[in-house]
């Protein structure tokens, strides 16, 4: 045999990982070295979801989509109920590590049981799909509500929603779960009650705990990021949620978030250095304790914010009438609708 010539019996070289170049065995779905997902299913989301869920579930329609996921209305034939199933976009599930992190965070979120938290019924990975199921709520998001209202909310209505969101986050924080992506589209309104959803999703998508996905996309809308998120810090804690809550409170009371701009960078820069316009100027007549509560939540230095949502709720309780404190019984979960 001529030197340098391959032996006829030598096996043909197998495929290689497009990211790190490692040789791969036939049929591999992930690279064993860097974890990159290798196999992409070319079928539509609906076709993949139908196969993943099986015959006990009927995919009815698409409810909505965003940068990270597509949500479908699904009928659970066995339980005779309707679910909202959120399917993560496959390009975000770039590695085995990320998929495992996502499943771990969803398991933590599924343990939250509070009347102001939209529960997770189950989560699964099937083929190239990673998804989780929630009750189907016949309501609107806070984002849709604010857009329709087109201006500040009535003070008592805003206080009640602020209270509901704070109560949900207090419950989560007590159990070691930080949301990190509180914004109007992650709050559902159901019969006048606020329900927070998507716990753990931001943390799952951020490879090192920061604000970027593995594909370089910013997690969250720029208007609703904390200064530590805007600067790319990875050591985020519960005080990020307090700042995010402060932004929602400010928007509900004035009609707009405290910081806006023509570009992402402009908005992020304002989070880092600009003070929000005083609520007393934006909306004269607001009670001083309410103004102080929101402005403290929006402090740039997290040590200057409220230590916990327990403090926030104490102040809100003092401002709400007794009937404003009544709501769902503690621990009673939201049930899916049955159209």
Please indicate whether residue 51 is annotated as part of the active site.
no
Residue 292: CB partners within 8 Å, gap ≥ 6?
A: none
Q: Which residue in 76, 164, 181, 241 is the catalytic one? A: 181
Q: What are phi and psi of 22, to 5 degrees?
A: -70, 140
Phi and psi angles of residue 181, each rounded to the nearest 5 degrees, phi first? -145, 45
Q: What is the DSSP string of 124-185?
A: EEETTEEEEEEE---SEEHHHHHHHHTSPPPHHHHHHHHHHHHHHHHHHHHTT-------GG
* Cα–Cα distance measured from residue 221 to residue 214, given in angstroms and rounded to the nearest whole number: 17
Contact between residue 236 and residue 202 where contact means Cβ atoms under 8 Å apart:
no
> For residues 183 and 240, what is the distance between their CA atoms, to the nearest angstrom?
12
Q: Which residue has the tokens 């960078």?
A: 265
Angle at 90 between CA 87 and CA 94, to 5 degrees: 130
**Which residues are known to be catalytic?**
181
């Amino acid at each position: 045999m001529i030197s340098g010539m391959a032996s006829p019996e030598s096996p043909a070289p197998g495929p290689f990982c497009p990211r790190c170049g490692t040789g791969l065995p036939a049929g591999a779905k992930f690279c064993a070295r860097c974890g990159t997902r290798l196999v992409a299913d070319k079928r539509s989301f609906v076709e993949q979801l139908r196969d993943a869920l099986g015959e006990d579930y009927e995919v009815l329609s698409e409810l909505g989509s965003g940068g990270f996921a597509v949500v479908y209305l699904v009928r659970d034939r066995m339980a005779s109920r309707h679910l909202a199933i959120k399917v993560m976009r496959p390009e975000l599930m770039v590695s085995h590590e990320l998929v495992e992190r996502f499943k771990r965070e969803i398991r933590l979120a599924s343990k939250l049981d509070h009347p102001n938290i939209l529960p997770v019924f189950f989560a699964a990975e099937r083929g190239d799909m990673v998804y989780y199921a929630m009750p189907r709520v016949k309501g609107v998001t806070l984002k849709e509500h604010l857009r329709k209202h087109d201006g500040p909310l009535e003070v008592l209505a805003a206080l009640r929603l602020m209270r509901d969101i704070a109560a949900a986050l207090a419950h989560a924080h007590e159990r070691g779960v930080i949301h990190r992506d509180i914004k109007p589209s992650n709050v559902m309104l159901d019969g006048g009650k606020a329900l927070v959803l998507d716990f753990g999703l931001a943390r799952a998508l951020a490879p090192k705990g920061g604000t970027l996905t593995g594909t370089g996309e910013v997690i969250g809308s720029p208007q609703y990021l904390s200064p530590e998120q805007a600067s790319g810090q990875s050591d985020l804690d519960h005080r990020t949620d307090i700042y995010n809550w402060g932004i929602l409170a400010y928007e509900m009371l004035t009609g707009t978030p405290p910081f806006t701009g023509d570009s992402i960078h402009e908005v992020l820069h304002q989070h880092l250095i600009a003070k929000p316009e005083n609520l007393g100027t934006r909306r004269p007549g607001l009670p001083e304790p309410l103004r102080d509560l929101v402005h403290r939540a929006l402090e740039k230095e997290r040590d200057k914010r409220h230590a916990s949502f327990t403090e926030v709720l104490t102040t809100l309780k003092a401002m709400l009438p007794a009937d404003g404190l009544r709501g769902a019984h503690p621990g009673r979960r939201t049930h899916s609708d049955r159209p």
